[in-house]
Structure 1
């Protein structure tokens, strides 16, 4: 005779089956959750990383103006002393050039100390780099003057200036000065690109820039191209990149480029710089003729005789 399950046995069996179903369901749910987490973990690196936002306070006009007064002008003061000394040496061979070099060394270190104290915002790294390059330049020039002083009065002025230009410290100082200048003008292009979204924030000067292409460039890019040229050619001059820019535009507009069969920016720039055809202040003299409606940062060398 079959033994019938009593009520308690039946309840126990049903409870056991229910627990088994719950356990199996929980197991498979756990497997699914774990699988999803693993897939998510290894899929994430393949997703594109969010682009870091551009710092809203980078390359503001006030940063460019502050740099002009606290870094560029002190450096320019030393540079003017140096160019003035060379003119005097060439006009008077009896001058004590060793004494001049001692004064120039003091001038370089005076401006070095002034510029070193300046705090440039890290949000504008090109300006930080420019400050660093100007500091390196001043220190290298100071070292070169110490090195050159011992032979300063034993050569003619022309021969001595050639010796200066061949000095390793001086040559590296000139490179650093032009690098600082290039970074400063690159910062101006960054500023312009924020003001006018049609302008690129960066521009790489081509090896050959035709006159036709040059004429199409906005002024701020032309000035950057001129700064790049001076840096590439290691041309440290009394004039500024904007002076070279204006002189090239004048040369083209006057028909001289066509007359001389010059077809590129670099060909004209080489002719003008090698023949002392550019003067400090040329940009300001020609600004109303060529650039009346061009937008530039409010820096004194674009708007006054400073």
Structure 2
């Protein structure tokens, strides 16, 4: 029986995870600040600064995580333990970088996003370190299965998706401050129709799909805007109509389950689908300028 699969083991991991989170919250209380900020506080320069100092370090680690997991799955690593130890070290380094980022107290969603992404990096570091300790005694395929079931990993994904959701909600608030016709908050139901979706601005679509990814608690290599572009392409191509789909949720389920979304899909279709849409000047919205 795999060590990671033992019930008592997972109980111990959960307790350790709770203690780690408690220590992290205590160490980052200075990030919480005043939560009474208003939508106008979400300035473009705040979003840009957050991207470079917090979100990018997290995403760089996430990309490394997917690379190592892919190589483990394909049995392309001679020393899985060393690779996971290095991954744990990368998470710690990126945590240190993101921890020192200054986030304005007037933008509480960005503060929350920072805190959650820090927690995520901490949990990923723990999960990778634990995996490294078991790598020599397990086959690569079994190790990968164990890693994605580990309690630390599950907590890491939870915080990562929550942080991403807060960041995209902050973008929506920024867009509402620029264009009063855009709502600064929106909670889509599971029955959001395709017709309703078509009329929504891009920042709102991105926020809705960040919500969906958070609800699924699954780590994906793509950005919410990549999923947005694939949903819009699916609708425009007539595939949704041909399959008699009525809701956006049904389309997202299909695209995610069939792994039909790739990082970079938004950049490939941006000029065609969103030539005049309002977006903050963030690098992942303007790949041609990277």
Provide the TM-score with structure 2 as the length reference. 0.84
Which residue number corresponds to residue 303 of structure 1? 286
Change (3 A) 1:270 1:158: farther
Matched, 1:87 2:70: yes
CA contact (8 A) 1:93 1:156 kept: no
Q: Deviations over 1:248-298 (max 9, x none)?
A: 100111111112222211111111111110010100110111110111011
Q: Deviations over 1:213-240 (max 9, x none)?
A: 1111111111111101111001211110
Paired with 2:57 and 2:43, the residues of 1 have a C-alpha distance of: 21
1:122-161 equivalences in 2 (<5 Å) = 122-161=105-144
Q: Which runs of 5+ in 2 are unaligned?
A: 1-35
Greater displacement, 105-114 / 89-98: 89-98
Higher relative contact order (CA 8 A, sep 6+): 2
CA contact (8 A) 2:73 2:144 kept: no
Matched, 1:237 2:220: yes
1:154-193 equivalences in 2 (<5 Å) = 154-193=137-176
Q: Deviations over 1:148-204 (max 9, x none)?
A: 222224434333222111111110011000111000000000100000111111111
Number of equivalences? 254
Provide the TM-score with structure 1 as the length reference. 0.80
Select the residue among 50, 66, 76 that pairs with 1:67.
50
Paired with 2:77 and 2:124, the residues of 1 have a C-alpha distance of: 23
Paired with 1:235 and 1:160, the residues of 2 have a C-alpha distance of: 18
Matched, 1:290 2:276: no
Q: CA RMSD in A?
A: 1.6
Change (3 A) 1:186 1:55: closer
CA contact (8 A) 1:93 1:157 kept: no
Matched, 1:205 2:188: yes
Which residue number corresponds to residue 25 of structure 1? none
Greater displacement, 209-218 / 177-186: 209-218
Deviation of the 1:57 alpha carbon: 6.1
Paired with 1:200 and 1:172, the residues of 2 have a C-alpha distance of: 31
Paired with 1:126 and 1:56, the residues of 2 have a C-alpha distance of: 10
Which residue number corresponds to residue 223 of structure 1? 206
Q: Secondary structure at the match of 2:188?
A: coil
> Which has the greater radius of gyration?
1
Greater displacement, 155-164 / 240-249: 155-164
